[in-house]
Amino acid sequence: MHRNARQATILDIISKKDIETQEELCAELNKLNFNVTQATISRDIKDLKLYKVAGTTKKYKYAYIEGEGDVVTNKMRNLFRECVQSINYANNIIVIKTMRGNGSTAGAFVDSLQFSEIIGSVAGDDTVLIVVDSNENTSVLVDRLKEYVR
């Protein structure tokens, strides 16, 4: 089957089930008559920019965060709201602390906002570091980010 159909099916599967591993995703696709290997799934995960987030029935699960330039969805906003523990700043640096394992999810959300004041961001396991273009813009940007966690 074609890559686009397979990737659309992957997005459908992860929206309905908590999929923790590539092997689980491979098994789900094979049930739907997609003859795939773990290597194919690995490439699809990279292409789709899937992230691991805290799961409801499992420790972690794959999730999809819309890419840069896309409209920020309620689902993305909810993920950000649920995982952020604090947002602080000093000079032109913003630090977002998240629940363990959710730094990349929060970082992807911030990147999707495409704020022109952001020079760049780096996400770790439970922290996002954001560099802002000026000290003056930093407090304004913090207020804008905090709106998403209220």
The average pLDDT across 104-108 equals 87
What is the pLDDT at residue 70?
47
Residue 79 has pLDDT above 60, yes or no: yes
Clarify whether residues 79 and 140 are in a common domain: yes
Q: pLDDT per residue over 12-47, tens digit each?
A: 899 888 899 999 999 999 999 889 999 999 999 888
Does 40 lie in the same domain as 102? no
The contacts of residue 18 (CB under 8 Å, 6+ apart) are 55, 56, 57, 58, 61
The DSSP secondary-structure symbol of 75 reads H
DSSP type of residue 114: -
- Domain containing 87 equals 74-147
Q: Do residues 41 and 93 both lie within one domain?
A: no
Q: How far is CA 52 from the centre of its chain?
A: 8
Q: Is residue 69 part of a domain?
A: no
Contact 142, 103 (CB under 8 A): no
Q: Report how far residue 104's alpha carbon sits from residue 64's, in angstroms, rounded to the nearest whole number.
A: 12
Confidence of residue 143 (pLDDT cuts 50, 70, 90): very high
User: Do 58 and 83 fall into the same domain?
Assistant: no
Domain check: are 59 and 21 in the same one?
Answer: yes
| Domain assignment of residue 11, yes or no | yes
**Do 20 and 85 lie in a common domain?**
no
39-63: pLDDT as tens digits: 999 999 888 888 887 777 777 888 8
Q: How many domains does the chain have?
A: 2
**CA separation (Å) from 136 to 89, 128, 141?**
12, 20, 9
For CA atoms 15, 128, 126, 140, the dihedral sign is: negative
pLDDT over threshold 70, residue 135? yes
Same domain? For 38 and 100 the reply is no
